[in-house]
Structure 1
Amino acid sequence: MKNICLYFQVHQPFRLNNYSFFQIGSDEAYFDEMMNRDILRRVAYNCYLPFNGLLLRLIESTGYRLQVSFSLSSTVIEQLLWYVPEVLDSFRALVATGCVELLGETAAHSLAAIVSEKEFREQVRAHTHLIYDLFGQMPQTFRNTELIYADSIAPIINDLGFDSILADAGHDVLQWRSPNYIYAAAGCPAVKLLLKNGQLSDDIAFRFADRGWKEWPLSPNRYISWLNAIPGDEQLLNLFMDYETFGGQHNYSQ
């Protein structure tokens, strides 16, 4: 039986107001708070709350054998605290099952890793502390913004207390290799790399509701047949996607 790693990204940015040059120094309303609130509430009630409830029921009904991982950016956590705090309560209920792992990332969902090591370290530490303070869990696995990875990141992440990294599986890097294995970071073998299976992840995240897709409508049995067709020695399947895939990009009824 293959091991399936389910990872969901939960993120909302702070959206900017239309801010003109002439407002500099006289108006500090940089962010569109009304838009931030309205979008977050819509996503919360269409996705976060119903699917957190569904996951909780599935975890309980499977005898706590179903396990998933989430990465919650600091920006979405801050907005949830302001506008829909009950969503954080629903994530706490999931974490309390012992079947949900929370990942580390940069606090601002930023590209600090490719700009400044100092800033990168500070943001990762800030996010780690926030996750621990709110959920009582210390992240052990790291995911960088948009699953960006370079070998230079691995020793930094290891120094910050992480032992594994989620990353995208670029075809130009993997070439003939399969993403369905655990890899070690070059130069830092203590850090394990879990690579996204892009084809099977995106079949759910993007193509599932595409009526022009030749495989539409995708049934559970057909999807399982694709999983079973993976060579037997490839025992790890990493399905990474945005949490808004459910209830956001695809309607709840689908």
Structure 2
Amino acid sequence: MPSICFYFQVHQPYRLKEYTFFDIGHSHHYFDDNKNKQVLDKVSERCYLPTNALMLELIKKHKGNFKISYSISGVALEQFATWRPDVLASFQALAATGCVEFISETYHHSLAYLFSKEEFVRQIEQYKALIKKYFKQEPKVFRNTELQYNNELAKFIEDLGYAGIICEGVDRNLAGRSPNFLYRAPNVSSIKSLLKNYQLSDDIAFRFSNRGWEEWPLTAEKFASWVHSMAGNAETINLFMDYETFGEHQWADTGIFEFMRYMPEHVMKHPDFGFKTPTETLESYEVKGIYDAHHMTSWADMERDLSAWIGNPMQDESIEKIYSLEKAVYASKNAEWIADWQKMLTSDHFYYMTTKFWSDGDVHKYFSPYESPYDAYIYYMNAFSDFSMRLKGEK
């Protein structure tokens, strides 16, 4: 029986304030609390609360046959607990249904796997403890930040005890095969890879409201017919996307909520189709082949590589400098300094520094709170300078 596996990313970073040269040595608070709370309030009202209410409605309506999964970054959960406990409670209500699975990730939505395996493991353990605290679950499936993935990561995560890992279904690695089956990296023994069907996922996440798209308007019936057309040629159709798709990237007046309200029932009109969590998917299907990702991939931008976060001089310098402080930060045993340092590892800071052009550059610009990537770099390096001086005891 083919199934749909829904996975949603929920993330809000601690954005840096416009930290100037003149703040160095005078202010040790680097994060824009007003902006962060303002964004969180806006997205909570547009997306998190109404979408969580809809997901709960769907679970009850379909008597547990509708299943979904989330990874909610640790920094987002921190902000929910501080500023929007109602949003946290709404996710807890979903967890209590037994139809929602929480996926593991790095606590600070960081690039730590690339630059510090020690910090990578540390953040995974921090995150597992937080998921157990809030949702009473122990994650069995892992997703790296922005679906960054390669063979070596799959092996590393297998060695940490996970049964599955989520990644992008990149065409160059699939080599003509379908993403709608379970795969395995060539160097592992048991962990299974769940590949995003980016075509169908992006139809919802990016193209839904595009009136120039030849398939607009996308109705629940039409989407279900696309899914049903895969009968006999698919086992798991993995729809992975940002949760902010609902109400934030695709506004309510586009019809995105009505689409989601009726899509599950149209899918389940075909008796052979249903919904599964990632762990249920792993337990239901066998591996169909090897997915060989020698080079690191992601779900970002047209290239689906790491160029959203690393590669230009501003990104590379800021990443190198912040990770160079790791040993000194932990040697200090100062909880406040450790917390500030980890927040500065969040991948969004480097995403804002991209100098890409064309459509991908527009996406980066949409998410950035700064006027330019150069501003993002300057504020970051000013904050780094102050933090480094604190760490060295120079103030």
- RMSD, aligned α-carbons: 1.1
What amino acid maps onto 2:2 in structure 1? Answer: K
Counterpart of 2:106 in structure 1 is 106
Whole-angstrom distance in 1 between the partners of 2:94 and 2:219: 27
Asked whether 1:146 is paired with 2:137, we answer no
1:70-108, Cα deviation, whole Å (9 max, x unpaired):
000001001111110111111111011100000000011
Counterpart of 1:181 in structure 2 is 181
Whole-angstrom distance in 2 between the partners of 1:249 and 1:243: 9
User: How far is 1:159 from its partner?
Assistant: 2.6
2:180, 2:236 within 8 Å by CA — same for their partners in 1?
yes
Whole-angstrom distance in 2 between the partners of 1:182 and 1:100: 20
User: How far is 1:2 from its partner?
Assistant: 1.9
What TM-score does the superposition give when structure 1 sets the normalisation length? 0.97
Counterpart of 1:85 in structure 2 is 85
1:178-232, Cα deviation, whole Å (9 max, x unpaired):
1111011221131100000000000000000111111111111211121122251
Identity %: 47
1:10-43, Cα deviation, whole Å (9 max, x unpaired):
0001111111223112111211100100110111
Asked whether 1:130 is paired with 2:143, we answer no
1:19 aligns to what SS in structure 2? coil
What TM-score does the superposition give when structure 2 sets the normalisation length? 0.63
Which structure 2 residues correspond to residues 139-218 of structure 1 after superposition, within 5 A? 139-218=139-218
User: How far is 1:155 from its partner?
Assistant: 2.5
Query: Would you tell me which structure has more helix in proportion to its own residues?
Result: 2
Counterpart of 1:39 in structure 2 is 39
User: What are the ranges of 5 or more consecutive residues in structure 2 without an aligned counterpart?
Assistant: 256-395
2:191 aligns to what SS in structure 1? strand
User: What are the ranges of 5 or more consecutive residues in structure 1 without an aligned counterpart?
Assistant: none
Which structure 2 residues correspond to residues 56-95 of structure 1 after superposition, within 5 A? 56-95=56-95
Counterpart of 1:17 in structure 2 is 17
Whole-angstrom distance in 1 between the partners of 2:62 and 2:210: 30
Whole-angstrom distance in 2 between the partners of 1:179 and 1:214: 23
What amino acid maps onto 1:239 in structure 2? Answer: L
Whole-angstrom distance in 2 between the partners of 1:188 and 1:245: 34
Counterpart of 1:55 in structure 2 is 55
Whole-angstrom distance in 2 between the partners of 1:25 and 1:157: 41
Q: Which has the larger radius of gyration?
A: 2
Q: Which moved more, 1:59-68 or 1:168-177?
A: 168-177
What amino acid maps onto 1:222 in structure 2? Answer: K
Whole-angstrom distance in 2 between the partners of 1:193 and 1:155: 11
Task: List structure 1 runs of 4+ shifted beyond 3 angstroms.
Answer: none
Counterpart of 1:4 in structure 2 is 4
Aligned residues: 254
1:63 aligns to what SS in structure 2? coil
2:47, 2:246 within 8 Å by CA — same for their partners in 1?
yes
Counterpart of 1:241 in structure 2 is 241
Whole-angstrom distance in 2 between the partners of 1:53 and 1:223: 22
Whole-angstrom distance in 1 between the partners of 2:111 and 2:25: 28
Whole-angstrom distance in 2 between the partners of 1:148 and 1:90: 28
Whole-angstrom distance in 1 between the partners of 2:109 and 2:86: 22
Whole-angstrom distance in 2 between the partners of 1:167 and 1:104: 13
1:190 aligns to what SS in structure 2? coil
